[in-house]
Structure 1
Amino acid sequence: MNRRVDGHALGRFDDGAGPFTGLVVGDRVLRLQDDGLVKGPAGYLALLEEWPTVAPRLRELAQEVTPADSVPLADLRVLAPVEPRQVFQAGANYRSHVAQIIVSGRAPDDDRSEDELRRHAEAVMDETARSGSPFVFVSLPTAICGPDDDVVLPRDAVQVDWEAELGVVIGRRAHKVTRAQAMDHVAGFTVCNDISARDLQFPPQHKALGGDWLRAKSRPTFLPTGPFLVPADQVGDHRQLRITLDLGGERRQDDVPANMLFDVPALIASVSAAAVLLPGDLLLTGSPAGNGGHWKRWLQPGDVMDTAIEGLGAQRNRCVAEEG
């Protein structure tokens, strides 16, 4: 996949000799040196721990990158740009998605028309946004894979789904921050695809206890991320970034974050009220309508997903069957 960035971004790469962190400018990558921007190795967490001072220095470096001190992006393997200690995920956070859930989940004896159901869904969402709180769960960082890596479909699941999402990277410790303070704690944004085994998510034996988020969402390769961490100062209005997902060349999801029920500041305020967000943590903000349940289509070996967010880049992941 041919990639380039407008402005600059942070990424993780492998040149055949091992992983390293680099600054992407256009279609070239500058390897960040140890004892440069931070004391010691220029690893992901070290940079994010010092993000308030690192971010302006990255802007300065980006102005100085030349072909002599950088390498072509096309010559490198692109890894997931983040190595978070914690991953938080918002669920049912797009108006289009919630409307689909309500309409498709009607009871057999519900004789309302689709228009009536949609009006009901709009009223439910308006009230939720006005007086409710976001639904957020925690998943494992070990689910993360790179933007070009294969997604492994487990043997014990047959309804594996996709969810294109805007990922928010935390750049400053956040605990009990207000909505007004929230964006000051954002380092930048990235592209995520929250793969989910729907037939494992709500097993009958655990129905009284809720969803099985571990088996359904935290499997290795179930969170393709990247290609880059684009700093917040390199992104215009993140609410207008177009999110798309194509499966086998067919458009399945298409929306913008402006249609979230709870926006990024609200999510950060809500999560930080209950937990401590650490520099480098990843917050997924929910997925638009157009998941597999709507299309009556689940991921199969050989499927190719193209997930993109305007201004942040694109990923392409092939689905493969679990071996053994």
Structure 2
Amino acid sequence: MKLASLKEGGRDGTLVVVDRSLTRGVKAAGIAPTLQAALDEWHAMAPRLNALSEALNAGEAEGAFDLDMATLAAPLPRAYEFVDGSAYLPHVERVRKARGAEVPESFYTDPLMYQATSAGFLGPRDPVVVSSEAFGIDLEAEVLVVTDDVPMGVTPAQAAGHIQLVGLVNDVSLRGLIPAELAKGFGFLQSKPRSALSPVFVTPDELGEAWRNEKLHLPMRTWINGAWFGEAECGVDMQFDFAQLVAHVAKTRPLTAGTLVGSGTIANQDTSKGASCLAEQRTVETLRDGKASTPFLSFGDTVRIDVTDNDGASIFGSIEQAIVKA
């Protein structure tokens, strides 16, 4: 099934079930008012939401309406926790090589992750508002998963059973602020503003064969100002699958239902497939040409992020955003 949130009913929106074509929706207020409320009691709520989904897809759901993406908030307008990884080692290897640094051996056996901003997510059509282009505005096209309650110390095999939803995220980064922050040795803060989520989250079973080994096996398609930018394969070159990432986060603490876990920028060894962030493209150019030629985003630029099935139909809906001056 596919789930979204309308921009109504307060900060956490109103939960709606969306059909497979992403054209029709129905409010789930009789089951759960918000997606967070559904996740809090997921094992009781999921069968009821699934029944509503089946009725909607069969054209039998009472109160169904035409879906307008502009009316959607992020599926989880705010979440208790968002942790983001860097599971695609080609990205890590290239970035470090460009600045003459070696990749520590631990990166190949222990996931690289950080605590991200979760107090508010941008909706799929909301603008990215930044005060200065000098900050180095960048997109990062990623896959994420949403968990139910995860006990502390789970194994990856156990963690797989706690992955309940899959979606996309534009993890907005301000590249010009990152070096000084990392130099302090205390991680990201100002360089990581609010991120945007895809219009809908879907249950793994909705993905069929595209979801296997706890990875999404489809290309991540990105456009900047309407021009093709990349279509890196999500299921290729992912060093750590989502079960491993969830287990890594839960090593020393339980995770609350509604925790989001990101993959990090999708990147492949094969650079002919383009990139999923500007920093990646600029690194490829630096290694190839001795300098970067692709600029970071400017005010007025637009970005689009999407994943389509084998028939070309959008699965999660697209993230489409303009870069706007504060």
Is 1:282 matched up with 2:252? no
User: In 2, distance between residues paired with 1:240 and 1:125?
Assistant: 27
Distance 1:286 1:194, change over 3 A: same
Q: Secondary structure at the match of 2:14?
A: strand
Matches of 2:304 and 2:91 in 1, distance apart? 19
Partner Cα distance (2:89, 2:185) in 1:
26
Residue 51 to residue 141, structure 1, CA distance change in 2 (3 Å): same
Structure-1 separation of matches of 2:234 and 2:118: 23
1:79 aligned to 50, 57, 73, which one?
73
User: Is 2:180 aligned against 1:215?
Assistant: no
Distance, in Å, in 1 between the alignment partners of 2:134 and 2:254 is: 33
1:266 aligned partner, one-letter code? Q
Q: Does 1:60 align with 2:51?
A: yes
Match of 2:126 among 137, 143, 149: 149
Q: Distance in 2 between matches of 1:75 and 1:194?
A: 20
| Number of equivalences | 287
Separation in structure 2 between the aligned mates of residue 178 and residue 275 of structure 1, nearest angstrom: 13
Aligned in 2, Cα 1:319/1:53: closer, same or farther, shift over 3 Å? same
Structure 2 equivalent of residue 267 of structure 1 = 245
**C-alpha displacement at 1:60, in angstroms?**
1.3
- Please give the per-residue CA displacement for 1:50-77, whole angstroms capped at 9, x wherever unaligned: 1122222222112223365211003860
SS at match of 1:98: helix
Question: Which of residues 219, 241, 244 in structure 1 aligns to 2:218?
Answer: 241
Q: Of Structure 1 and Structure 2, which has the larger fraction of its residues in helix? A: 1
Query: Which of 231, 242, 246 is residue 254 of structure 1 equivalent to?
Result: 231
1:1-324 aligned within 5 A: 8-14=1-7, 19-25=13-19, 26=21, 27-33=23-29, 36-38=30-32, 42-65=33-56, 66=60, 68-74=62-68, 77-82=71-76, 83-91=78-86, 93-106=87-100, 128-129=107-108, 132-155=109-132, 157-203=134-180, 207-211=183-187, 213-217=188-192, 219=193, 222-236=194-208, 237=211, 238-258=215-235, 259-289=237-267, 290=275, 291-293=277-279, 294-295=281-282, 296-310=294-308, 311-322=315-326
Equivalent position amino acid for 2:152 in 1: H
> What is the TM-score normalised by the length of structure 2?
0.80
Structure 2 vs 1, CA of residues 16 and 63 (structure 1 numbering), >3 Å: closer, same or farther? same
Shift of 1:37: 2.5
**Percent identity between the two aligned chains:** 25
Whether the aligned pair in 1 keeps the contact of 2:83 and 2:115 (CA below 8 Å) is yes
TM-score (norm 1): 0.80
More moved, 264-273 vs 133-142: 133-142
- C-alpha spacing 1:125/1:306, structure 2 compared with 1 (3 Å): farther
Structure 2: unaligned runs, 5 residues or longer: 268-274, 283-293, 309-314
User: Displacement, 1:276?
Assistant: 2.0
Residues 203 and 156 (structure 1), Cα distance of their counterparts in 2 relative to 1, 3 Å cut: farther
| Contact 1:15–1:76 (8 Å) recurs in 2 | no
Determine the C-alpha separation between the residues in 2 that align with 1:186 and 1:298.
Answer: 34
Distance 1:214 1:163, change over 3 A: same
Q: 1:141 to 1:157 in 2, by over 3 A?
A: farther
Aligned partner letter, 1:305: V
The Cα shift of 1:126 comes to: 8.4
Match of 2:285 in 1: none
Whether the aligned pair in 2 keeps the contact of 1:253 and 1:288 (CA below 8 Å) is no
State how far apart, in whole Å, the 2-side matches of 1:17 and 1:274 are.
33
Distance 1:288 1:49, change over 3 A: same
Larger Rg, first or second structure (1 or 2): 1
| Unaligned ranges ≥5, structure 1 | 1-7, 108-120
- 3-state SS of 1:318 partner: strand
Cα distance in 1, alignment partners of residues 251 and 204 from structure 2: 23
User: What is the Cα deviation at residue 98 of structure 1?
Assistant: 2.2
Task: Kindly provide the amino acid, as one letter, of the partner of residue 163 in structure 1.
Answer: E
1:22 is displaced (CA, Å) by 0.6
